Structure 1
Amino acid sequence: MTSLADLHTLMARLGHPVVQAASPAGTSFADGAPYRFEIPSVEGPAVLEAVVAEADRLGVPVARISQGSGVMMLTDDEISDMARIGAERGIEVNLFLGPRAAWDTGGQAKLTQAVGASARGNTMVAACVADALRACSLGIRSLLVGDLGTLEVLRALKEDGTLPANLVLKTSVLLPLTNGPTAAILERLGATTVNVGTDLTVPHLAEIRAATRLPIDLYLEVPDDQGGFVRFYEAVEIVRATAPVYLKMGLRNAPNIYPSGGHLGAVPRELGRERVRRAALVQRLIEELDPELAKRQPAQSHPSDLGVPEV
């Protein structure tokens, strides 16, 4: 096996040293893990079942799954089934709030993704709150938020007891986070885990880690509509700079399936399985490049900082 240090030594011997960016020592999750795997675009219970089965087959420790179509695109039974599976497996089930500007009657979101997840008007914020209340009543304890004002409203509802105090509020990649000051603002507004921009360098990520204690969510493979990067060989340096970090496995060369539904047939399930396979590839690479980092991964458990459903 060839470690990262071995590769750097080899490059230096060839006269082409790898210049490493200085980064702060990362911390870890509550269970001691420096990184966890998140499988995004798990759009319903059938996809979740496929993801769990593939994770078992490949030995991938999936800690969190996230859904992108939104709470309003799931029936009560579907949400309850996802909550049950998550509770049984100790997996955080994260559901997106909706509606959102990109699906609304406005025109700006049709021209730029920058406002695609924003809530147009107070009525839409209220609809996001309705989604949150419904999801939590069915056992969900993790929500994906794409609007800044909605985030602060949800924080207030957690503080007054309307929403569960242990509810995870995860910011969306559609809510741009590209620097330390913005990370600090999101933390003050109530975020409990933050999704960063897909194109940030390791020094950029280290700056964000220095500005917040929150877990960072980062795409190692990025969907085409978010840049389409594949950053597998950066995984070790990213973890070192950003731990605790959720490594998100998107897919290049894959269809956009939002909003999902039965009309897409087996496509969402197959995409879910492939995302797990990508995670297995990254896990193997981390074990080869930095065996000590890989050894810090604890056995599958129910750590206190995961938003595992309560059913």
Structure 2
Amino acid sequence: MTSLAGLHALMARLGHPVVATAAPAASGFADGAPYRFEIPSVEGPEVLEAVVAEADRLGVPVARTSQGSGVMMLADDEITRMARIGAERRMEVNLFLGPRAAWDTGGQAKLTQAVGAAARGNAMVAACVADALRACSLGIRSLLVGDLGTLDVLRALKADGTLPANLVLKTSVLMPLTNGPTAAVYERLGATTVNVGTDLTVPQLAEIRAATGLPIDLYLEVPDDQGGFVRFYEAVEIVRAAAPVYLKMGLRNAPNIYPSGGHLGAVPKELGRERVRRAALVRRLIEELDPALGKPSESADLGVPEV
């Protein structure tokens, strides 16, 4: 395998040059590293244990895990176990908030994913706040938000001290973010890391990077219900354009496991292990194509649980 510049030079010599898409971003995380790995769909302590074991086996530095079933689908002892693992490893453990339209009695969310994570009515916003308060009381310092109004309410609760000032508020991929102005709005409403559309081009990612200094979260392998893309060979250009960026390792050709639970057996754990293996594949590509990008960031400025 040659470097990315070498591959581009080869294509130019063959008369088929690769057109430059975006200038490299100069920013990175607090420790200077341009990217981190996030493993999504880590639905409980058993899955988290499987993920960290596989990360150790493959030497993959997992900076953040995220969960999609929601705080309300976890018992107190499960949240506490996850928080303890995150604290011991200096790893961010991110939990989704509350009920959502897709699981509610309304009909619109059954027809389109565009409103699937919305909070229908003020009572549902209140339920998301209840989830946030409970998760934080058990040591969690990173929450996944799927509703714009809820995000603003959580911002206000951080500002008045009801929620911890260091709480990470991560926007969900179910909240469409496809341009710079929207990224700026999310930042004003309290987001501290933003999940962007799965199908954005590298120049479009660069536009979002120009609009906000917040970390960008992007699926490098995308679940089927979000597009099913596998963008491994774009990883270097994506990191250059979007740094600081979380590379999220979803899985194509995998079942949707939300809401998760014991009825799914070993499936969530096996999916978690495979996501880590995908991260190892991407790390190899990045290090071979552009060694100058360095190693992925691990622990600086993360929403590590406090236990």
Q: Judge same fold: TM > 0.5, yes or no.
A: yes
Residue 110 of structure 2 aligns with which residue? 110
CA distance in 1, matches of 2:8, 2:60: 28
Q: Deviations over 1:97-136 (max 9, x none)?
A: 0100000000000000000000000000000000000000
**TM-fit CA distance, 1:26:** 3.4
1:310 pairs with 2:306:
yes
Which residue does 2:90 correspond to in 1?
Answer: 90
Tell me if the contact between 1:202 and 1:237 (Cα under 8 Å) persists in the aligned partners: yes
**Map of 1:55 onto structure 2:** 55
Aligned to 1:7, the other structure's residue is in SS state helix
CA distance change for structure 1 residues 307 and 59 in 2, over 3 Å: closer, same or farther?
same
CA distance in 1, matches of 2:159, 2:232: 39
In structure 2, C-alpha distance between the alignment counterparts of 1:150 and 1:297, rounded to whole Å: 31
What secondary structure does 1:220 align onto? strand
Question: What letter is aligned with 1:21?
Answer: T
Q: Structure 2 stretches of 5 or more lacking a match?
A: none
Query: Displacement of 1:292 after TM fit?
Result: 1.1
Does the 8 A contact of 1:26 with 1:242 survive in 2?
no
Residue pairs, 1:1-311, within 5 angstroms: 1-293=1-293, 295-297=294-296, 300=298, 302-303=299-300, 305-311=301-307
Displacement of 1:32: 1.4
1:29, 1:244 within 8 Å by CA — same for their partners in 2? yes
Offset, 1:47: 0.2
Alpha-carbon distance in structure 2 between the residues aligned to 1:143 and 1:125: 14
Q: CA deviation at 1:76?
A: 0.1
Tell me the TM-score normalised to structure 1 length: 0.98
How far off its partner does 1:297 sit? Answer: 3.9
- 8 A Cα contact 2:61 2:296, kept in partner: no
Q: How many residues get paired?
A: 307
Shift of 1:296: 4.7
Q: Aligned AA for 2:97?
A: L
Following TM superposition, the consecutive aligned residue runs of length 4 or more in structure 1 with deviations greater than 4 angstroms are: none
CA-CA distance at 1:21 after TM superposition: 1.1
Q: Identify the range of structure 1 (24-33 vs 102-111) with the bigger mean alpha-carbon deviation.
A: 24-33
Q: CA deviation at 1:31?
A: 1.4
Partner Cα distance (2:281, 2:183) in 1: 30
Q: CA RMSD in A?
A: 0.8
Q: Secondary structure at the match of 1:99?
A: coil
Distance, in Å, in 2 between the alignment partners of 1:138 and 1:128 is 16
